[in-house]
Amino acid sequence: MPELPEVETTRRKLLPLLLGRRILEVRHQDPLRYRHTERAEGRRVEGVGRRGKFLLLSLSGGLEMVLHLGMTGGFRLEETPHTRVRFLLEKGVLYFHDPRRFGRIWVVERGDHREIPLLSRLGPEPLSEAFTFPGFLQGLRSARPLKALLLDQTRVAGMGNIYADEALFRARLSPLRPGRSLGEEEAWRLFQAIREVLSEAVALGGSTLSDRAYRQPDGLPGSFQERHAVYGRAGLPCPACGAPIARRVVAGRGTHFCPNCQGESP
């Protein structure tokens, strides 16, 4: 957390607040985590974009502010006990809230991502035309388990733990299966499930979990968590067959699935 739907929701909510406005001052006390932010001062925001889990603010003068929300980061319209950065704008103030301090900010020359190597290696955006079935199918030709492949940002940009679990459930595929074991029809089901799950999650403002860490900039929670079929539901009945949802650790991440609907082995 946050994953593509939460970052995209944040982008959409920030767009009317930032576009065309000048950043007057950026205040924080952590120059190692929030790098070169003084370069943004006096610049006008010319665009608010997203790439994978990164927010990209195009600034006047050919600069770019790159933001990664980390595990608990997000923007607020009011100050909180966990405010880490204050953005003074021409009209109003925007606060970067990050309880666990994993968020990062860089101000760089536009398109110069040498300080952020992952940004240059991201795979296609799964809700864009660049995400094609032939390319996705080729990326599955691996002995790694499906869950690990979906979390690999070089294959699908922006996918994370929640939406990988939900997409695999909709495709009725075990997260433990090697990618190369899938037939073309199974791979197509997964390709479609990824797009469906992410589209629905974006439309519903993302997922706000029990820790309440993620909220939209206006303070509203997401609501896609109400549609979670497997994620965070270990031991509860599968909504399709009633069998208990299982939890395993795959690729170092807690992974939820239905052993009956999805199978536990290839």
DSSP letter, residue 220: P
Is 2 considered catalytic here?
Answer: yes
3-state SS assignment for residue 164: helix
Is 91 a residue of the active site?
A: no
Model pLDDT, residue 212 = 83
25: tokens are 């001052």
Phi, psi of 126 (to 5 degrees): -70, -15
ω before 259 within 30° of 0 (cis)?
no
Residue 210, pLDDT score: 82
From the list 11, 53, 147, 170, the catalytic residue is 53
Over the chain (266 residues), what is each successive 10-residue block's mean pLDDT? 94 97 97 97 98 98 97 94 97 95 97 93 97 97 97 96 98 98 98 98 94 88 96 97 97 96 75
- Our answer to whether residue 3 is catalytic in this structure is yes
Q: Where are the alpha helices (DSSP H) in 2-63?
A: 4-18
250 pairs with which residues across the strands? Answer: 253
Query: DSSP class of residue 186?
Result: H
Computed over every residue of the chain, the mean pLDDT equals: 96
CA atoms within 13 A on the CB side of 194: 28
pLDDT at 211: 81
Structure tokens at 5: 């739907």
**Separation of alpha carbons 64 and 7, rounded Å:** 17
Positive or negative torsion for Cα 154, 160, 161, 163: negative
Q: What is the pLDDT of residues 15-24, one digit of tens each?
A: 999 999 999 9
Q: Could you confirm whether 166 is annotated as catalytic?
A: no
Q: Of 3, 6, 64, 125, which residue is the catalytic one?
A: 3
Query: pLDDT per residue over 62-100, tens digit each?
Result: 999 999 999 999 999 999 999 999 999 998 999 999 999
Considering 2, 126, 145, 217, which one is annotated as catalytic? 2
Query: CB within 8 A of 250, min separation 6: which ones?
Result: 145, 147, 148, 175, 176
- pLDDT for the residue numbered 265: 56
Name the burial class of residue 101, with classes exposed (0-12), middle (13-18) and buried (19+) by CB atoms within 10 angstroms of its CB: middle
Which is catalytic among the residues 35, 227, 253, 259?
253
What 3-state DSSP class applies to 18?
Answer: helix
